[in-house]
Amino acid sequence: MYIELHARSAFSFLEGASVPEELVGLCAERGMPALALLDRDGVYGAPRFYGAAKKHSVRAHVGAEVTSTAGWRYVLLVQSRAGYQNLCRLITQTKLRAKKGEGQVRPEEMAERGGGLICLTGGQEGPLAYALAKGGIEQGVQAVEELCRIFGRENVYVELQRHFCREEEAHNQAAVRIARTLKLPLLATNGVSFARPQQREVLDVFTCIRHHQTLLTAGRLLCSNSERYFKTHEEMSQLFLDLPEAIANTEILSSRLHFTLNDLGYQFPIYPVPDGESQMHFLRQRTLEGRIRRYGPENERAREQVDRELALIEKLHLAGYFLIVWDIVRFCREKNILVQGRGSAANSAVCYSLGITAVDPVGMDLLFERFLSEERGEWPDIDLDLPSGDQRERAIQYVYQRYGKLGAAMTANVITYRGRSAAREIGKALSLDPETLDRLAALVGSWEYKDPNDTLERQFHDAGLDIQHRKIRNFLELCHAVQDLPRHLGQHSGGMVVCQGQLDSVVPLEPATMPGRVVVQWDKEDCADMGIVKIDLLGLGMMAVLEESLHLIRERYADEIDLGHLPQDDPAVYTALEKADTVGMFQVESRAQMSCLPRLQPKCFYDIVVQVAIIRPGPIVGNMVHPYLKRRQGREQPEYLHPSLEPVLKRTLGVPLFQEQLLRMAMIAAGFTGGEAEELRRAMGFKRSQTRMREIEVKLRRGMTAKGIIGETQEHIVQSITSFALYGFPESHAASFALIAYASAWLKCHYLAAFTAAMLNQQPMGFYRPATLVKDAQRHGLRLKPIDVTRSDWKCTLEKISAGFAVRVGMCYIKGLRQEIALEIVRQRKIDRFESIEDLKQRVPDIQKVELTALAEVGALNFLSNRQGFHRRDALWQVERAARRPGPLLETPEASLRTDRAEERNGTPNQSPAIEQSPLLRMTDEERLVADFRGTGMTVGPHPMAYRRTEMKKLGIRTAIELKKLPDGAYVQVAGAVIARQRPGTAKGFVFLSLEDETGIANAILTPQLFERDHATIVHNQFLLIEGALQNQENVISVKAQRVKPLTISRAEPPSHDFH
Amino acid sequence: MTFASIFVPNFLLQAAVRTEPALRERGLALIDGNPPLSTVVAIDETAAQLGIEIGMTKTDAEQFAGVEVRPRVPMQEKIAHAALLDIGWSISPRLEDTAQDAIVLDLSGLSSLFGAEQAIGARLAERLKACGLRGNVAIATNIETARIAARGFAGITVISPGEESPSLSELPVSALSPSVETAGVFSRWGVTTCADLAHLPILDLSERLGQQGVYLHELARGAFARSLVIAEPAHSFQEELELDDAVEELEPLSFLLGRLLDQLCARLTARSLGAAAIRVHCNLQPSFENTVEVFQTHQRPGEYDTEMQLPVPVCDSKLLLKLLRLRLQLNPPDAPIQKITLTADAARPRVTEGSLFSPSFPDPEKLELTIARLVHVVGEGNVGSPSLTDTYRPGDFEMRDFRIPREASPTKRGRDRARRTAEERGNCTIPASFRVFRPAVPATLHFGAGSPVRAAFQGLRGEVRAASGPWRTSGDWWQEDSWQQDEWDLEIHFQEAGERSNPGIYRFYYDSLGRGWFVRGVYD
């Protein structure tokens, strides 16, 4: 039986066109017992290859093509674990000393790490072909002898490939002669680069991308034919009829390759504990201290739960893992870095006691098994939320420093070809001109929802493109074919893996683009599949906001806030939530959340947990939102899908909302074991498991039928479970998020100035643009002061005013102003105040004219003059001169004098030189608005709508706030700046618009027909007038649009958040 | 001094409408750019009212009923510009060719001939109209004021001395054509009209905007004085002939071309120049076939263009005529010719003298003629130097322009040495040369046990004694002319006696797309 021992997958990044699963699928389909995957310079695809092979009972041989310094590639197959470790170390060694994506192995390194590896002489890129081309048979013999010296004669095979090429056959003849001379075995392979012949087109396009060519210019870089596909035993035997031993040897060699990926030899690091103590004892001590602190000494339920968990942790030898996570959390606390565990860790009382999580699982009765179970056989998942930015980086660097460069690494993020990236690169390969390419790229995934009438043909026609044109047709087919194929290796945002000893012997490491970071060749799912423990250190914008708010409160209000001890039932928070007054609040600020809040009427913390979880595609698609709300309002009695499920669903009134509930439902209704439930959970977790979900569905139905749950009930249960497939929210995760949501709401209600400043400083984040956050804060009574070079810092700051604090907008909001210039302005200002624009220009000489202009245009230089009425245009007038200063020789005596004075400041109060009045007119309100939005993306002055209110009133246009007082069904007109346009995939083509005026935000719902009709008006206008019937149901107010008209309010362009 | 400026608004559109006044009655949009991404570059009022905007794609524009969408024709614009110059020269010999859509005339001393300024303005407007153009005329005592006023004010404007500043005051500053940067400064300053700019103190403005500020300030006040840049009479070597009756045959066409070439060469000779290239542009009689738009083609419907690059500048009208005739015979226009435009790219003629010791090459002019004759016999693209292309497509090559080689080709000894070296290195070399059959010869091949056993072609039959293959290639899958072939090298013993009865090694191939066997050639 022929066994393919030289196949490349798409994980050879642009040198292969099929995913490993496809290759394995074909292998199994043809009854071939084994397959070897040899990707270029890595084992990137190995876990997926191994996983698929295991499923199909195919033996997965691991190997790689490793680039030598001479440019050819060693073709290596792993024979034993030692060989695998050698391969990983070899790749790591070469990668870490080179730039990202490069690296070549030196002969001496290969000689050192050749043990446990089998070497093939390779195809066209192998050492033999290279030597033959360079020096004929003689050099060919030498090259093979060199391989024998490195790997041992018994570990070298002379490889033959036949792709119906004349030159290749000439090499083959030479190779056979060499093999006969040196008495080495022959080995037939097909040097597979794609699974099926038609995928050659994808490979050709990849070749163009790799060589920065187009199909027209790539010439003989492309494939000469389509023969590098996965061939059957019969096809290969036919090809090698004259050399049957080359086929027979594939089976012999396969039987020599003992290594599989379940033999990785991975060990989790041991946490260093004081002498004489075991890790478990140390963990018990820390947990006990924490439990007493969290629950008090008397809480029996907590004690029992903690003991139960500790017993399991001990049994599973996981004490070290908990201690390592605890250690990271402890480091963060010491360094004042806000940290909170999320994910299933929140189900653990031990995590709660250790301070890793902030949700009390005992009080909330959370399912511990969701976090850790004996059956699962994998590491528990602990994710830590950290403030995004520098603070998270500090935590990551701590882990590197603690476990060494080769003991810790980031997990990879395999970037795949999707949407626009695929479109652009394929378009270039097809020589589409840039303009066509822009149009095609713009067509890809523009809006989330696709109208059923919105066919591809129509979209192309609308964009002025002819779908019948061959180039366009090729483009579409190729875009489809490359979808989800790996493109390159990125770095996961926060997933880290750690290892006892040398991580580089488990998986090759590579340098990341970010200096000081290394990345493993596998993504986080692959790491989990391979049983490597990972810790997610995730950056969360809101954590950064909370941290900065606390810092500002401590510094300016002199109040010390402990987020862990916030008042639990703060009425202000719940009032704001009930009224959906939640702009800026974590997870509850979106339009969908706002339309649910008045119905759900949160009264306690658990309500927030439900609120966070309910507005998710899972519950929405599963039609679970409305039943829950009705039952909560008492308009419907709780009903259970089956009486046996009542204990599981009671808390959510019979409606399954959380992942844990679905797992329990599967366990109760279908008799799933913990392991099976876990399989279900993993299938829910990520996208590539659609097929797995279908298989589980079959199992679910079988289990339920066995338990007598049939018919409609079975259908409902199955639907509930499968609709969560991709978007289910675990309760513990929702609870962790709810805590942050509560904290953000509490800070907004009680320290609005600090919260707003922090929000503005952490942009971009959240649902709304800064312009909306500013207007919302102003409506809540906060005073925002404009940017002023004499007062503003780079970031937004707090200024004491008679009634508390105002926010001074930071210079970071000035578009085009460099941070170092702003910091220099602040530094100079601290030395002495600026006397004039010229003075500023002299003392901050690196400031460019565009920067000075940007400052002047938004009024940031208005305060440099003592003259009353000095306005933006005066500043612009001065700037133009200051920016054009003559050289020192031609400087006027007055200017030199000023310079001298500036240099010899002695602390005496300065007298401002008389500032020349400009002949320019002051900006009008409209001009100021335009300048504000253009220069900073927002305005702290009146809302653009406010200037036109009188006119609007005459037209009968209502303000957003007035809508609340109008009855349901009233025909209204509303107008405002569009701040959000949404067309969610779950809304059947309906479009949701949010219009902002000076009184608040009005929401409008547009039917698909209306959107279709007035598409251009809706999408391209900043200000809209919407007419329609008012819907006021349970205090959720929206206008059901019947007409949409563009409005000319201002030339200013308030930014809008459009969700595609 | 008095100057008049003529400005033709929406020049591109007017140039197009000029020759076809009927277009004025309906909406018209001109497009430019490569299909399928042509965009609208000019529109008339009707089109604008209907909602067409500059920058729209052709597909978008075509959705508006009642608007004709046409490609822009640069030649029409050139001719319209020439007409504009003609109008100027018909009034004053002192003329400045300011822009494609604007000219300035010196009217000094013309009042006795044409009357007062207003009368001259009216006369200019009248002549514009007669030439099918509509434009603005402005008369002032300085060039720039006249130019700016013509751009800014519709109809005829006469600005009396001393009235320059008030006259221009309402015009937007953009009429002064400031640089993008300065326009940005004005916008930020809120300076929108010439009056706003004129009110700014000039010294302060100079401090801020330098000399450009001063210049613009003077322009805004109508105070900038400069001298006229006199345009020389036309230097474009172009001759044009519009025919009352369309020409269909080559002979009468040759006669007309000869006339035009004589004139062209006479003009070139007068200036001691030769033609480095000749372009022929013909307007054809419209026919149904020509109205069909061809995707990405150089030929526009209803027009015929051909270009002839010459190896050395030529000034011999007879030689040029011969070359043109051959060109036209080979690739004749597909409709009767209504109008001929000949354009010559002028260049200095060759003055070098051949070396006494350098090898003798044919005279370039004669060589060009010979090549043109050969092209006429064997077809375009079939004459030149063959050159291999970077592709796996068997036998593929391209023809490059024939040029006399400057270096001698490698000697036989050199070739032998290169072959020996390659052989020593064990490289795959084909020892025999290969004679390609072009076109390939259809053949029949019989297989036995997966290998060819008998072959037949061109009436010959033979047995296959040895076979090597298949050698498979395929490619250009993204194009219409993709290929997929299996090649076999076969040693054939022919059954018939005769010249070909000796065994020969042939290369056969199976064209998988055309589904047939062919003989590609024979090893010598």
Give the pLDDT confidence of A199-223 residue by residue, as tens digits: 999 999 999 999 999 999 999 999 9
Backbone angles phi, psi at B311, to 5 degrees: -65, -35
**Over residues A141-145, mean pLDDT:** 95
Give the rounded distance of the alpha carbon of A162 from its chain centre.
44
Q: What is the dihedral of CA A696, A699, A705, A710, to 10 degrees?
A: 20
Buried b (16+ CB within 10 A) or exposed e, A639-669: ebbbeebeebbeebbbbbbbbbbbbbbbbbb
Q: What is the dihedral of CA A271, A277, A283, A287, to 10 degrees?
A: -150
Strand locations in B285-328 (E): 303-314
pLDDT at B405: 60
pLDDT at B293: 35
- pTM here? 0.71
- Nearest-Cα distance to chain A for B236, in Å, is 34
In tens, the pLDDT along A160-184 reads: 999 999 999 999 999 999 999 999 9
pLDDT at B344: 84
pLDDT at B295: 34
pLDDT at A910: 43
Give the chain A residue nearest B209 (alpha carbons): A880
- Nearest-Cα distance to chain B for A963, in Å, is 36
Comparing A133-147, A576-590, A702-716, B59-73, which segment has the lowest mean pLDDT? B59-73
Give the chain B residue nearest A175 (alpha carbons): B426
Cite the DSSP H helix spans in A416-570.
419-429, 434-443, 456-462, 470-482, 524-529, 541-552
* pLDDT surpasses 80 at A378: no
**Which is higher by pLDDT, B383 or A26?**
A26
Verify whether the Cβ–Cβ distance B191 to A920 is below 8 Å: yes
In tens, the pLDDT along A870-879 reads: 899 999 999 9
Q: Could you give the 3-state DSSP secondary structure of residue B182?
A: helix
Comparing A97-111, A328-342, B174-188, B450-464, which segment has the lowest mean pLDDT? A97-111
**Which is higher by pLDDT, A618 or A410?**
A410
pLDDT at B401: 77
**Over residues B466-483, mean pLDDT:** 92
In tens, the pLDDT along A910-942 reads: 444 445 678 999 999 999 999 999 999 999 999
- Nearest-Cα distance to chain B for A515, in Å, is 39
pLDDT at B497: 53
**Which is higher by pLDDT, A811 or A99?**
A811
Query: Confidence class of residue A327 from pLDDT cuts 50, 70 and 90?
Result: very high
Q: What is the rounded average pLDDT for all residues in chain A?
A: 87
A164, A461, A464: residue with CB nearest B37: A464
- Nearest-Cα distance to chain B for A444, in Å, is 18
**Over residues A545-567, mean pLDDT:** 89
Verify whether the Cβ–Cβ distance B426 to A136 is below 8 Å: yes
- Nearest-Cα distance to chain B for A850, in Å, is 11
CB B470 within 8 A of CB B488: yes
- Nearest-Cα distance to chain A for B10, in Å, is 26
The CA distances from residue B145 to A145, B169, B212, in Å, are: 89, 11, 17
Residue type, A2: Y
* pLDDT surpasses 60 at B424: no
Instruction: Give B-chain residues touching A857 at CB under 8 angstroms.
Output: 188
Give the rounded distance of the alpha carbon of B278 from its chain centre.
12
Verify whether the Cβ–Cβ distance A469 to B36 is below 8 Å: yes
pLDDT at A246: 96
B33, B209, B473: residue with CB nearest A224: B473
Q: Could you give the 3-state DSSP secondary structure of residue A786?
A: coil
Cα angle: A883, vertex A887, A892; to 5 degrees: 90
* pLDDT surpasses 60 at A890: no
Verify whether the Cβ–Cβ distance A219 to B189 is below 8 Å: no
* pLDDT surpasses 80 at B355: no
pLDDT at A257: 95
Residue B334 burial (10 A CB sphere; 0-12, 13-18, 19+) = exposed
Strand locations in B52-108 (E): 67-71, 95-99, 102-106
pLDDT at B411: 57
Highest mean pLDDT out of A758-767, B264-273, B342-351? A758-767
**From CA A883, how far away is CA B184, in angstroms rounded?**
15
Give the chain A residue nearest B472 (alpha carbons): A164
**From CA A552, how far away is CA B48, in angstroms rounded?**
57
pLDDT at A886: 59
Verify whether the Cβ–Cβ distance B190 to A919 is below 8 Å: no
- Nearest-Cα distance to chain A for B232, in Å, is 40
CB A700 within 8 A of CB A721: yes
Residue type, A54: K
pLDDT at A905: 47
Verify whether the Cβ–Cβ distance B480 to A470 is below 8 Å: yes
Among residues of chain B, what percentage have pLDDT more than 90? 30
Q: Could you give the 3-state DSSP secondary structure of residue B419?
A: helix
**From CA A938, how far away is CA A935, in angstroms rounded?**
8
Instruction: Give B-chain residues touching A164 at CB under 8 angstroms.
Output: 469-472, 486
Instruction: Give A-chain residues touching B484 at CB under 8 angstroms.
Output: 225
CB A403 within 8 A of CB A473: no
B57, B210, B392: residue with CB nearest A224: B392
Residue A259: name the closest of A109, A107, A112, A53 by CA.
A53
Residues 6+ apart with CB under 8 A from A358: A340, A341, A346, A352, A563, A564, A736, A739
- Nearest-Cα distance to chain B for A993, in Å, is 26
Mutation pick from A141, A161, A166 vs chain B, by most beta carbons of B within 10 Å, is A166
Backbone Cα Rg of chain B: 34
Give the chain B residue nearest A435 (alpha carbons): B37
Highest mean pLDDT out of A147-156, A387-396, B9-18? A147-156
Instruction: Give A-chain residues touching B204 at CB under 8 angstroms.
Output: 877, 881, 919
Verify whether the Cβ–Cβ distance B471 to A165 is below 8 Å: yes
**From CA A472, how far away is CA A464, in angstroms rounded?**
12
pLDDT at B377: 82
- Counting Cα atoms < 13 Å in the Cβ hemisphere of A314 gives 12
* pLDDT surpasses 90 at A971: yes
In the DSSP assignment, the letter for residue A230 is: -
**From CA A1032, how far away is CA A964, in angstroms rounded?**
8
In tens, the pLDDT along B40-52 reads: 999 988 888 888 8
**Over residues A29-33, mean pLDDT:** 93
**Which is higher by pLDDT, A99 or A511?**
A511
Instruction: Give B-chain residues touching A163 at CB under 8 angstroms.
Output: 472
Query: Confidence class of residue B188 from pLDDT cuts 50, 70 and 90?
Result: very high
Query: Confidence class of residue B301 from pLDDT cuts 50, 70 and 90?
Result: low
Tokens coding A943: 């809302």
Q: Which residues of B lie closer than 8 Å to A, measured between beta carbons?
A: 33-34, 36-37, 57-60, 185, 188-191, 199-201, 204, 207-210, 295, 389-392, 424-428, 450, 469-475, 477-480, 484, 486
Residue-level length of chain B? 524
A439, A465, A876: residue with CB nearest B189: A876
Query: Confidence class of residue B292 from pLDDT cuts 50, 70 and 90?
Result: very low
Return the residue matching tokens 């040495």.
Answer: B417
Verify whether the Cβ–Cβ distance A464 to B201 is below 8 Å: no
Verify whether the Cβ–Cβ distance A920 to B57 is below 8 Å: no
Give the chain A residue nearest B200 (alpha carbons): A919
**Over residues A25-50, mean pLDDT:** 95
Around Cβ A265, how many Cβ atoms within 10 Å?
13
Verify whether the Cβ–Cβ distance B59 to A461 is below 8 Å: yes
Instruction: Give A-chain residues touching B387 at CB under 8 angstroms.
Output: none
Among residues of chain A, what percentage have pLDDT more than 90? 50
**Over residues A213-240, mean pLDDT:** 95
Residues 6+ apart with CB under 8 A from A168: A123, A124, A161, A162
Q: What single string gives the DSSP state of each residue in A203-218? A: HHHHHHHHHT--TTT-
In the DSSP assignment, the letter for residue A346 is: G
**From CA A623, how far away is CA A612, in angstroms rounded?**
16
Instruction: Give A-chain residues touching B186 at CB under 8 angstroms.
Output: none
**Which is higher by pLDDT, B147 or A492?**
B147
pLDDT at A449: 43
**Over residues A548-559, mean pLDDT:** 92
Mutation pick from B202, B428, B430 vs chain A, by most beta carbons of A within 10 Å, is B428
Give the N- to C-terminal CA distance of chain B in Å, as an integer.
86
Counting one residue from chain A and one from chain B, the pairs whose CB atoms sit within 8 A come to 109
Mutation pick from B34, B185, B188, B486 vs chain A, by most beta carbons of A within 10 Å, is B188
B200, B392, B425: residue with CB nearest A919: B200
Residue A995: name the closest of A1054, A1042, A937 by CA.
A1054
pLDDT at A473: 84
Instruction: Give A-chain residues touching B486 at CB under 8 angstroms.
Output: 164
Q: Could you give the 3-state DSSP secondary structure of residue B460?
A: strand
Verify whether the Cβ–Cβ distance A880 to B428 is below 8 Å: no
**From CA A312, how far away is CA A310, in angstroms rounded?**
5
Buried b (16+ CB within 10 A) or exposed e, A426-463: bbbbbbbeeebbbbbbebeeebebebeeeeeeebbebb
pLDDT at A857: 94
* pLDDT surpasses 80 at B241: no
**Over residues A634-653, mean pLDDT:** 86
pLDDT at A101: 66
Give the chain B residue nearest A474 (alpha carbons): B478
**From CA B345, how far away is CA B348, in angstroms rounded?**
10
A224, A880, A927: residue with CB nearest B208: A880
**Over residues A510-535, mean pLDDT:** 85
* pLDDT surpasses 80 at B294: no
**From CA B84, how far away is CA B11, in angstroms rounded?**
11
**Over residues A824-836, mean pLDDT:** 92
**Over residues A519-525, mean pLDDT:** 90
**From CA B59, how far away is CA B375, in angstroms rounded?**
40
Verify whether the Cβ–Cβ distance A220 to B391 is below 8 Å: yes
In tens, the pLDDT along A447-474 reads: 444 555 556 666 676 666 777 778 888 8
* pLDDT surpasses 70 at A903: no
- Nearest-Cα distance to chain B for A516, in Å, is 43
pLDDT at A908: 41
Verify whether the Cβ–Cβ distance A135 to B425 is below 8 Å: yes
Query: Confidence class of residue B132 from pLDDT cuts 50, 70 and 90?
Result: confident
- Nearest-Cα distance to chain A for B28, in Å, is 19
Residues 6+ apart with CB under 8 A from A287: A306, A310, A350, A353, A354
Residue A100 burial (10 A CB sphere; 0-12, 13-18, 19+) = middle
pLDDT at A914: 44
pLDDT at A265: 82
Residue A833 burial (10 A CB sphere; 0-12, 13-18, 19+) = middle
**Over residues B485-503, mean pLDDT:** 77
Instruction: Give B-chain residues touching A227 at CB under 8 angstroms.
Output: 472
